[in-house]
Amino acid sequence: MPLKLRDGKLVSHECTDQDDVLCLLQLQEQHPHSAQAVRLNPEDNALALQPWIRTLSRIDVTYPAYTDGRAHSQARLLRQRLGFAGEIRAVGDVRIDQISMMIRCGINAFECFDADTETGIASAQLCHLSALYNNRYQPEYPSVSTLLTDTVFQ
């Protein structure tokens, strides 16, 4: 069972609800207006979700490998261009040293299958950076904002 971090809070042993998550192609072909969650693969265009952005509560962005950062860009597009206010969940090869950047891109939930990442999150050892070189997404939720300023970047 994956370990999860959501809005700065540890959530472990929770059901992943993968059966309720549609891929972008399914969403486009079936046009279900009742869809609550969708999964974006790295090659998917995040802007294609615009017709459904107000009805979705969760969007999963996929990291097939820790070296693939396309989901960072997808999260930024969802937050800044489409104004998505729901949960953006990083799934796949999520590593502890990438979480601070993921948060800065607008991702607010994580499914971690990597043992080192699980250990780091469970013991609240998120990466501590003393200097930042890029802008960040400013989250609306206070717990993620607190996580960004008080935990990750001290």
Which of 39, 106, 27 has the alpha carbon at shortest distance from 73?
106
How many CB atoms lie under 10 A from the CB of residue 17?
11
* C-alpha distances in Å from residue 22, one per residue of 30, 69, 115, 123, 145: 10, 21, 27, 33, 29
Report residue 93 CA to chain centroid gap.
Answer: 12
User: Which tens digit of pLDDT belongs to each residue from 61-88?
Assistant: 999 998 999 999 999 999 999 999 999 9
How many CB atoms lie under 10 A from the CB of residue 108?
24
Q: Residue-wise pLDDT tens for the chain (154 aa)?
A: 455 666 666 665 444 455 588 999 888 888 777 789 999 999 999 999 999 999 999 999 999 998 999 999 999 999 999 999 999 999 998 887 788 888 889 998 888 766 665 555 555 544 444 555 555 555 554 444 444 444 443 3
**Structural domains present in the chain:** 3-152 (3.40.50)
